[in-house]
Chains A and B, each alone.
Chain A
Amino acid sequence: MDLSYGSEYAAFREQVRAFLREQGGRAPKGPAGVATGKASQALLEWQKLLIEHGYAARSIPKAYGGHGGDADILKRVIIDEEFNAAGVSRGVGGQGPEMLVPTLLEHGSEAQKQRWIGPTIRGEVVWCQGYSEPGAGSDLANVQTRAVEDGSDFLISGQKIWTTTAHLSQMMFGLFRTEPGAGKHGGLSYLLIPMDTPGIEVRPLATMTGEAEFNEVFFDRARVPQANAVGRRGEGWKIANTTLFHERNMLASTAVLDGGLRSLVKLMQRESSSGVRAIESPVLCDRLLRLEGRVLAMKYHGMRMLTARLAGKSPGVAALVTKLAGCELSHQLNGLALDAMGELGALYEGSPHERDHGRWQSQYMFTLGLIIGGGTAQIQKNIISERGLGLPREPKPQA
């Protein structure tokens, strides 16, 4: 156990701080962390500067438009820590840079890497992820949207759902059934699809938060070149699975939990009822401290998992619990904020007396979505018990 970063890293941290001091003012205003969706001109320029300095697309080769630096995980952690502490935008994020780019680097053809990685990391092309379907949720491999061979193209027909940012995206990556006779998992291919292809219709799907975060995407004989398949035909399931794990960890970031807890403490110090501050209510304070204990546990758990990654070791079952435990904790933090506000916790939609622009209600509902999305809590429990503890799968039902 040695939690110091060492002198090389101290120098690197200084370098990041100096950059933030000198250039931080050029960052687009708004919350820290990455921005998703369509990028503003200010964000595009900021992202360009970040790539130049190696604070975005750090380990992506220069040939594909990245910074071409080392893949040192600790340096990435330091960048995250310093940008978060300064409250400065980390640039362009979302499913393109965070999920598609690693997939292309691992499985894409040279032409695909050349064509897509640069514009994606620069924020010029926004991507959505076409995995889930009405009949393929927890049972994701049950994807039914067909991609039928037609000359050198595929003709795509079917429907995707829960497609985040589809209405803002130029491109979709996703799973499509190309080999109908090849069985459930072996019949899928990983395709890249321009969203302006004739035959594609996007319908926004409002969620309980009131925002249209999701979409349904309908395909009616949409024509896409076969060359848009990543990896070999029929290997889509395997390829998609290499990035699903990253999505799960992205959904339960411990830095977000830490920040959430700090905002909650401030809220509870600020809000009072009949002259008593929320944090001074013994019951509410006890709930806060319970959550603080859990946030600390997740924080050090993150460091334990990071150590395992640095050493190239598998942390085993311990790594599988992050999404389940982290998303639940996030939901509970927001739930306590509502209770600390009492009757004012009900306010929303910019109502008079609403606190923090409705952030707590919105996040309380949004985090319930996180508990369900990216593999439901129940699917996570199957994964933990089967892959982590070696318990058998449920027998297949007799047809």
Chain B
Amino acid sequence: MDFSLSEEQDLLAASLRRFLAAECPVTRVRELVAERPGHDGGTWKSLCELGVAGLLVPEEHGGSGLGMLDAAVAAESLAWGVAPGPFLGSAVMAPIALRAAGSAEQQARWLPRLATGQCRFAVAANELVSRRDGAGVALRDGCLHGLALMVIDGIDADHLLVPVDEGRSLARIDARGAGVTSTPLRTIDRTRGFAEVRLDGAPVDEWIGEPGGASAACNRMLDAARVALAADTLGASERALELAVAYSLERRQFNRVIGSFQAVKHLCAEMVAELEPARSLVWYAAHAFDAVPEEASRMALHAKAHLSEIGPFIVRTATEVHGGIGFTDEQNLHYWFKRVGVNRQLLGSPEALREQAARLQGWIA
């Protein structure tokens, strides 16, 4: 029995953090994303060279053939550094969907390119979870019509994965092809790019798997995305706590460092008391994704919902520990606050996820 990260996983976390601290600190992130949301200015290419994009790609397709726990460790570290880049769409959702539903030929074509970062996949998954008025994509005469909101990594994408017919079919289309109009959206978090995509008769380039047979793949893709988002919130919260503790040891008021006041210490302790059990939950959800299939969906729902509750608590408390300076643009703490804030809204609110978990257990109809 071993409920811990392996040496390799610890090493992955350490090397990613070292790389981000040296090559892409928050001051650099700030410059990059000022140009447009999610703009990584070559950071993603370097991360791909470190193997980040190929974690979930099997070895025969040029990846490292690792599991969701490795991807979660990477997601956590990337959020620790508020790294820009299409990790969620191109390194988690697309590889999982292709592995679950793609033909051998499709896997051989796309997985190597994803692993090396040669192409970027955006995912129009929002309508699987929540269809706003006026949104939704339908298939007519072999072409896609409609509107997809909050398309993940939708800025700078080469390809789009579009679930159709409530996820029973999964289309790949050229993100810059005929009938596709992509408009960047602006969220509070500029480190990742979201778009709305209007489809006016966009031809389907290919179906991933058989049309009508993609439901299981779409569910796997959502489970994976939710675990990755929970891990992202974990990493961002962890960094916010580190920054708050460091600041509390530096800032002096009433002739003492503020970290010596119980009022401040207790805020820090409350953050730890939420963070550490949540870390254990994220690890287990990631482990279950690969090793305990009957628990995978329930754990993904719970991990995403729980981290969406404690993450915002931690980043706001870290901001309060900083006092007025934490509220300023200049301090940069808000990059983590905003990352966590957007994660909470994506792919199901905590309430919606918990309702689904209750249904999954047969507690409600």
Contacts and interface: CB of A to CB of B under 8 A. Distances in A.
Given A296-B281, A382-B269, A389-B269, 13 more contacts: A1-B5, A2-B1, A2-B2, A5-B1, A285-B354, A289-B355, A289-B357, A301-B277, A306-B3, A318-B279, A381-B270, A382-B266, A391-B268
Nearest to A289: B354
A330 to B, nearest CB: 14
A275 to B, nearest CB: 14
Contacts of A6: 1
Interface string A364-399: 000000000000001011101110111111110000
Interface of A: 1-6, 9, 74, 265, 269, 279-280, 282, 285-286, 288-290, 292-294, 296-298, 300-301, 303-304, 306-308, 310-311, 317-318, 320-321, 324-325, 378, 380-382, 384-386, 388-395
Given A2-B1, A310-B1, A317-B276, A296 B259 contact: no
Contact of A300 (B261, B265, B283): B283
Interface in B253-269: 256-257, 259-262, 264-266, 268-269
A74 B259 CA distance: 39
Nearest to B299: A296
For A4, A285, A393, the residue with the greatest tally of chain B CB atoms inside 10 Å of its CB is A285
B6 A1 contact: yes
Given A3-B287, A289-B354, A293-B354, A325 B277 contact: yes
B190 to A, nearest CB: 30
> 9 smallest A-B Cβ distances: which pairs?
A289-B354, A381-B269, A385-B265, A384-B269, A293-B306, A301-B280, A297-B277, A297-B281, A300-B280
For B2, B274, B365, the residue with the greatest tally of chain A CB atoms inside 10 Å of its CB is B2
B354 A385 contact: no
Contact of A1 (B3, B266, B269, B357): B3
B363 A386 contact: no
Contacts of B364: 279-280, 285
Contacts of B69: 1
- The A interface is mostly helix, strand or loop, or mixed, namely helix
A293 B356 CA distance: 13
A301 B276 contact: yes
Interface residues of B, number: 48
B291 interface: yes
For A1, A310, A320, the residue with the greatest tally of chain B CB atoms inside 10 Å of its CB is A1
Contacts of B283: 1, 300, 304
A3 B270 contact: no
Interface string B286-300: 010001000000010
B277 A286 contact: no
Contact of A321 (B257, B273, B305): B273
Nearest to A317: B272
12 contacts: A1-B69, A265-B363, A279-B363, A289-B355, A289-B357, A290-B354, A297-B278, A301-B280, A381-B266, A382-B269, A391-B249, A392-B257
A286 B284 contact: no
Given A292-B302, A300-B284, A389 B268 contact: yes
B351 A298 contact: no
B11 interface: no
B1 A385 contact: no
Contacts of B363: 265, 269, 279, 285, 288
Given A303-B280, A381-B266, A392-B257, A3 B1 contact: yes
Contact of B2 (A288, A290, A307, A317): A307
A328 to B, nearest CB: 9
B165 interface: no
B245 interface: yes
A381 B265 CA distance: 7
B260 A392 contact: yes
B185 to A, nearest CB: 29
B4 interface: yes
B174 interface: no
B282 to A, nearest CB: 9
A248 to B, nearest CB: 13
Contacts of B273: 321, 324-325, 381, 384
B67 to A, nearest CB: 9
A388 to B, nearest CB: 6
Contact of A304 (B4, B259, B274): B4
Given A3-B291, A304-B280, A317-B276, A289 B269 contact: no
